[in-house]
Every structure is written in C-alpha cells, then in structure tokens.
Amino acid sequence: MKKFAVFGNPIAHSLSPVIHNMFAVELNEAISYEKICAPVDNFESSISTFFNSENAKGCNVTVPFKENAFRMASELEKGAKLAKAVNTLVRNDDGSLSGFNTDGVGLVNDLLNATVSVEGARVLLLGAGGAARGVVHPLLDAGVSHISILNRSFDKADILAQEAEDSRVVAVTVNDSSNIADIDIVINSTSASLSGLVPAIPEGVFDNNAVAYDMLYAKEPTRFMSFAAKQGAKIQLDGLGMLVEQAAAAFKIWTGKQPDTAPVLQKLRIMLANENRP
C-alpha cells in the first residue's frame, strides 16, 4: 500500500486525510494517509523518518513548514521555486525529494469551478505571506491582467511584487486609487480572519461587482466574507474549494490520476457544518 502523510504543527484539525482517502476510494487506489505533527525545530528528521519506509511515496506540508520543505527538495517545480514554499513532496526512485506548490493552482481551479472569469481580471491580493506567494504566478499564468498586492507591512508586498518580475504585479497602499480601481476579484490571503478581523480594505473596492475570495474557510462565512457582502461584493467564496483543489493537484502528482473534486467538496461542506470546530 502506498503511504502518504501531511506534516504540520498543529495538525489535529487537518482535513487532508479525509480528502485524500475520498480521492483514493473514487480512483481505486490503495493508500494510507496520516497526520504527522512534526516538532517545530525538527521537521527535517520527521520527514527523513517517514521516507525511510519503502512504501512512503509523498507527503503534503502545511504551516509552519512550507519553507523547510522548500529547502529540503533537491528539485523544484516552477511554482514552488517562485513561491519559495513547498506544500507537496514526492520521493524519487533515487531517494531524492521533488517539491511542488499546488496552492495557487488550487485557488485558480476553485475560482474557475465557481465560474469566476479569471482571464483578464484585475485582482487585489490582500496579504503578502506564504499563501500570497503561492498564488501570484498561477494567477498570472491563468491570464489575469493585473495584481495589486496590499499588505499590512508594505515592504513585504513590495518584495513579493518585485520578485514576481512581471509588470502586471504592483505593491499598493490602501490609498493608491489608480491601482485599486475597477477590481474584479479581491482575494484575502491574510490570516486576519483567524482572529476574527478584517484587513484594511480600500473603500469602494467592491463597487465594480467584485468577487470576494477568502482563503480561510469555516463553518460560517468568515468576517471578510460578511464584510464584502455588506459592501456589495457579487459573490463571496471561502477557501474550502481551494483546499480540495490543491489536494487534487497533489494526488495527481503522486498517482497520475485526476480526482473529481465536486463530490468531495460537497461532503466536506456537510462535515464542516456538523462539526464542532471554530
């Protein structure tokens, strides 16, 4: 049986085992998939122990280890290189590890599933942390016309915009009216919702009938989604679909098989609604 896992700290609430086990049933793959809480100061040895098992084929990596995984991979796919973060590792036949970042493709596929027009869209990306890093290039590859990055610490937005090396990407402040006009999609990649907060958002940004996307997901609409709804956002989406889509992309890397994500997302929504999680 092929062995997979997700590494994080904390990891108890991860939905990844549920998602991957559903994919495996759907595609008739015999797998095991466990949650591993790696020590914050010893991720590398946890990974080595896991891959010592001959059946261990790959793993997912989540907060706070995506940069450690990036450093451990001897080969990196383009998305991971640009994001400087890895959420999917694969063990090659010679024992070396290849690193991928499927978060961005997960976001783009989730937007497309929701019939959001990504090609030609003007995007306002709130936040400049690891999640924002992972989505900039997949959004550019999907044909967006412009990305304005707005972050609480401007310097981080500026560095991310410069590293993108694409004239469509700029760092902005909350008052930069020219770059935040006519926005089609507002993506919240900040962790502000985790503390029940809404990040600073330029006034009138939803006036263009913009779509609001929060990478966070919860049982109820997040604070950002409720705020956007009040401001007139066309639709509000949370990040559960992104989670399922990034998992599907990882599953395809490991097995060569593309899962059907819609029934899995539907089951997770029901699970989440009945679960006692914040």
Interface mask toward ligand NDP for 109-148; x: CB under 6 A: ------------------xxxxxx----------------
Within 205-264, the residues that bind ligand NDP by CB under 6 A are: 215-217, 239, 242-243, 246
* Residue 108 or 132 with smaller CB distance to ligand NDP: 132
State which residue, 199 or 259, has the beta carbon closest to ligand NDP.
199
Active-site annotation holder among 2, 3, 57, 66: 66
The window from 20-28, 170-178, 192-200, 264-272 that contacts ligand NDP (CB under 6 A) reads 192-200
Question: 29, 77, 103, 184: which one contacts ligand NDP (CB under 6 A)?
Answer: 103
Which of positions 148-187 make contact with ligand NDP (CB under 6 A)? Answer: 151-153, 156
Rule CB under 6 A: choose which of 79, 104, 199, 202 binds ligand NDP: 199
| CB-based contact 217:272 (threshold 8 Å) | yes
| Size of residue set near ligand NDP by CB under 6 A | 28
Query: Residue 56 or residue 240: which is nearer to ligand NDP going by CB?
Result: 240
Joined together, the tokens standing for residue 119 give 């090609």
CA 257 to chain CA centroid, Å, is 20
For 55-66, b/e burial (b = at least 16 CB within 10 A) is ebbbbbbbeebb
Separation CA 126–CA 148 (nearest Å): 8
Q: Is 35 a catalytic residue?
A: no
Phi, psi of 241 (to 5 degrees): -65, -35
CA nearest 247: which of 96, 31, 78?
31
Distance CA 25, CA 255 (A): 13
Using CB under 6 A as the binding rule, whether residue 79 contacts ligand NDP is answered as: no
- Closest separation in Å from C-beta 154 to ligand NDP: 9
| Minimum CB distance to ligand NDP, residue 19 (Å) | 11
Evaluated on CA atoms 216, 12, 130, 248, the torsion sign reads negative
Kindly provide the residue ranges of all beta strands, DSSP E only, lying in the chain, ordered along the sequence: 2-8, 31-37, 56-61, 75-76, 88-91, 97-100, 122-126, 146-150, 169-172, 185-188, 211-214, 236-237
Select the residue whose beta carbon is closest to ligand NDP and give its number: 129
In this complex, which beta carbon is closest to ligand NDP, that of residue 130 or of residue 202?
130
Contact 155, 180 (CB under 8 A): no
Name the residues annotated as catalytic. Answer: 66
- The residues that touch ligand NDP, with contacts defined as CB under 6 A, are 63, 103, 106, 127-132, 151-153, 156, 189-192, 194-195, 197, 199, 215-217, 239, 242-243, 246
